[in-house]
């Protein structure tokens, strides 16, 4: 989704901004722009397409001396919401005088009425965006003090924003503000860099301030001055980022997605580190900040999430119900707040979000909190909005996930959910002995994933055979049903093949009509409960001439005989089996997409972090 980078300091702002935008490319975008302040003027370049198109234009248009001379600027990658991805609609946008410029993430929901009011005062708009209205409003209210004008304008705005605003008159400072869209300020030596995502900052500094909603900040080379929307100073803590730059780079792999698939044994190890108490047969998870008494008082779990995180939540339901005996519901976060959800005092709402910024999940968190629920976050990005607003929860510690298609975050989410279910279970029905056995199984997870990664060649062979298929079905039962949904989602996200995930038993209720010899079926026939019924479902598919690729447990010869092709996963508990199984599906989707020469890390139309509803 949209990205912002702003810079003021002792380096060429152009260079810093362009390299910062490149680090944000993974978020998904369709156009980009930059403005620098120099010689009392604003200099802008905007372009549709990739950052490298913008880069080419910038370096061919601006001479070297000028580039080195400009030490303040702001920039943006856009993912179109209002108005198509043209250079006119790309950010920055200008005010009526052309002396102020702004980049904006988010949506100004009342832009239409604001625009009508401004047009009545003679304002002329050059784009179809909601964003341009905001900078015109700031310009309308500007009387020589930029931060005052920004605060005044934001009071009229409904919607979400992360903004950076520059003035031609002020080569020494710029103003940023946020509500609902993340903004992080990096404090360097004689330089300050602002970005919507910490990955654009870490090559400059690790000291950062995460702005809260309704914060406004004046940014200077020497540091920042944070205020609230009434322009009253507020203090914000400085945090230290512990990612390294290498973690945000490809490390020799062809794609971030492949790197992240292969990183899973390590990221799962990080998720588990120090969190299992094998002696007591439980999980520690101190971030939950709940006593055993509070945990045992929980009567219902409601999981809210979107996309891949939603699929993780669906697996979590099996964990909570089986291990902790707690009725569990899983809600698509986008649906949750619009249907007057019933919250009881003994409910726990679990929000799952890799980025911690997904607008619908955040809105669900706010709804649940407002209704008095106990809210817990499962997030990867430390300091993200959902993590902070939930106030308690469990971080994945999966490291930055750059590929748009989520992989390592999903397996770490399942691992966290399994540990949470263990902890809840131990406060209720699970014996210490059972808990100890489960701890052992959980400890095995990184090894199980390693075993699947070692089967890469087997998966490549199947991908080679079927990468030209037009449609796919993914079938599973029990906790393998959401795994089938996730496998289908991975395939459609990056290979653009139409893929449907179905409960194997539901196939007969309609979709079986679509099966023929051109429609491969991926069936999770692991050696766990439901295996025999899966074999029957596979027969139903084969009887319709659909080729079946079975995900089968190593050594399960009876099943192999019933499949057209097999991908092996190691023998393990039914509770951990979703994790190695989904890794096989991630690799399958990856290789199909690679063979089809798709843009794997930045699939068309998709964004890593969806900060609009």
Residues labelled as active-site residues: 2, 608
Angle at 154 between CA 149 and CA 157, to 5 degrees: 140
Our CB check for ligand G6P shows the closer of 48 and 406 to be 406
Our CB check for ligand G6P shows the closer of 257 and 430 to be 257
**β-strand pairing of 93-94 with 282-283:** unpaired
Task: Report CA dihedral (507, 509, 513, 518) to the nearest 10 degrees.
Answer: -10
Our CB check for ligand G6P shows the closer of 28 and 188 to be 28
Please state the closest distance from residue 379 (CB atom) to ligand G6P, in A: 8
Our CB check for ligand G6P shows the closer of 267 and 358 to be 358
Instruction: Name every residue whose Cβ is closer than 8 Å to that of residue 402 and which is 6 or more positions away in sequence.
Output: 26, 199, 248, 256, 260, 601, 608
Please state the closest distance from residue 311 (CB atom) to ligand G6P, in A: 8
- Rounded to whole angstroms, what are the CA distances from 302 to 328, 341, 348, 516? 6, 10, 6, 39
Our CB check for ligand G6P shows the closer of 173 and 493 to be 493
Please state the closest distance from residue 418 (CB atom) to ligand G6P, in A: 18
Whose CA is closest to 302, among 202, 203, 369?
369
Please state the closest distance from residue 366 (CB atom) to ligand G6P, in A: 15
Please state the closest distance from residue 355 (CB atom) to ligand G6P, in A: 3
- Please name every residue paired with 271 in a beta bridge, in sequence order, or none if there are none: none
Please state the closest distance from residue 465 (CB atom) to ligand G6P, in A: 27
User: Angle, nearest 10°, between helix axes 146-154 and 131-141?
Assistant: 120
Please state the closest distance from residue 114 (CB atom) to ligand G6P, in A: 29
Instruction: Name every residue whose Cβ is closer than 8 Å to that of residue 499 and which is 6 or more positions away in sequence.
Output: 471, 472, 473, 474, 487, 488, 489, 491, 492
Chain residues binding ligand G6P by CB under 6 A are 306-309, 353-355, 358, 361, 404-406, 606, 608-610
Our CB check for ligand G6P shows the closer of 42 and 303 to be 303
Q: Residue 184 has which token pair?
A: 């992080």
Our CB check for ligand G6P shows the closer of 167 and 609 to be 609
User: Angle, nearest 10°, between helix axes 578-595 and 480-495?
Assistant: 20
Q: Residue 211 has which token pair?
A: 């702005």
Within 13 Å of residue 151, how many CA atoms lie on the same side as its CB? Answer: 17
Angle at 606 between CA 605 and CA 610, to 5 degrees: 125
Our CB check for ligand G6P shows the closer of 298 and 333 to be 333
Which residue shows structure tokens 């239409």?
112
Instruction: Label each residue of 109-174 as H, E or C.
Output: CCHHHHHHHHHHCCCCCCCCCCHHHHHHHHHHHCCCCHHHHHHHHHCCCCECEEEEEEECCCCCCE
The helix/strand/coil state of 292 is helix
What string of DSSP letters covers 57-75? HHHHHS-HHHHHH--EEEE
Our CB check for ligand G6P shows the closer of 405 and 485 to be 405
Please state the closest distance from residue 309 (CB atom) to ligand G6P, in A: 4
CA gap 491, 214 in Å, rounded: 39
Q: Nearest residue to ligand G6P, using CB? A: 307
Which residue shows structure tokens 């997870």?
445
The helix/strand/coil state of 397 is coil
Please state the closest distance from residue 412 (CB atom) to ligand G6P, in A: 11
Give the dihedral sign, CA 437/423/242/197: positive
């Amino acid at each position: 989704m949209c990205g912002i980078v702003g810079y003021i300091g002792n380096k060429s702002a152009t260079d810093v901004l362009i390299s910062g935008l490149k680090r944000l490319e993974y978020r998904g975008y369709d156009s980009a722009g930059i403005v620098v302040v120099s010689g009392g003027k604003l200099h802008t370049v905007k372009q549709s397409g990739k950052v490298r198109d913008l880069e080419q234009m910038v370096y061919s248009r601006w001479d070297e001396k000028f580039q080195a001379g400009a030490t303040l600027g702001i920039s943006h990658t856009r993912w179109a919401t209002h108005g198509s991805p043209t250079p006119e609609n790309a950010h920055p946008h200008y005010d009526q005088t052309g002396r102020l410029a702004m980049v904006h993430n988010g949506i100004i929901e009342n832009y239409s009425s604001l625009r009508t009011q401004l047009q009545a005062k003679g304002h002329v708009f050059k784009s179809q965006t909601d964003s341009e209205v905001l900078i015109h409003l700031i310009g309308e209210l500007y009387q020589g003090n930029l931060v005052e004008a920004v605060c005044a304008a934001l009071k009229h705005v409904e919607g979400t924003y992360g903004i950076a605003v520059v003035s031609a008159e002020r080569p020494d400072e710029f103003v940023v503000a946020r509500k609902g869209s993340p903004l992080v300020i990096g404090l360097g030596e004689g330089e300050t860099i602002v970005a919507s995502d910490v990955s654009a900052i870490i090559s400059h500094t690790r000291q950062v301030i995460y702005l809260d909603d309704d914060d406004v900040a004046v940014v200077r080379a020497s540091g920042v001055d944070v205020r609230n929307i009434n322009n009253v100073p507020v203090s914000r803590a400085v945090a230290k980022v512990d990612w390294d730059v290498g973690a945000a780079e490809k490390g020799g792999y062809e794609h971030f997605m492949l790197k992240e698939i292969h990183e899973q044994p390590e990221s799962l190890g990080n998720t588990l580190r120090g969190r299992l108490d094998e002696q007591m047969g439980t999980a520690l998870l101190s971030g939950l900040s709940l006593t055993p008494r509070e945990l045992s008082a929980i009567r219902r779990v409601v999981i809210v999430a979107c996309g891949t995180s939603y699929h993780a939540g669906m697996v979590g339901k099996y964990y909570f119900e089986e291990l902790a005996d707690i009725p569990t519901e899983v809600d698509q976060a986008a649906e949750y707040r619009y249907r007057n959800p019933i919250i009881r005092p003994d409910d726990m709402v679990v929000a799952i979000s890799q980025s911690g910024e997904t607008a619908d999940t955040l809105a669900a968190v706010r709804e649940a909190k407002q209704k008095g629920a106990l809210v817990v976050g499962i997030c990867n990005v430390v300091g993200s909005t959902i993590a902070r607003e939930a106030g308690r929860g469990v971080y994945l510690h999966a490291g930055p996930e750059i590929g748009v298609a989520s992989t390592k975050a999903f397996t770490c989410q399942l691992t966290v959910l399994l540990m949470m279910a263990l902890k809840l279970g131990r406060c209720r029905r699970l014996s210490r002995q059972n808990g100890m056995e489960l701890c052992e199984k959980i400890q095995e997870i990184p090894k199980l994933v390693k075993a699947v990664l070692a089967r890469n060649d087997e998966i490549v062979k199947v991908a080679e055979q079927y990468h030209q298929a037009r449609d796919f079905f993914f079938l599973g039962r029990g906790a393998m049903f959401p795994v089938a949904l996730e496998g289908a989602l991975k395939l459609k996200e990056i290979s653009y093949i139409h893929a449907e995930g179905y409960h194997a038993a539901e196939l007969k209720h309609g979709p079986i009509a679509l099966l023929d010899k051109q429609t491969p079926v991926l069936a999770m026939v692991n050696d766990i409960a439901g295996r025999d019924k899966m074999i029957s479902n596979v027969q139903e598919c084969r009887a319709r001439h659909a080729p079946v690729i079975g995900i089968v447990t190593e050594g399960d010869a009876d099943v192999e005989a019933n499949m057209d092709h097999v991908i092996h996963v190691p023998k393990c508990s039914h509770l951990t089996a979703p994790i190695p199984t989904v890794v096989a599906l991630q690799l399958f989707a990856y290789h199909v997409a690679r063979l089809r020469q798709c843009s794997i890390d930045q699939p068309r139309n998709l964004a890593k972090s969806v900060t609009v509803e």
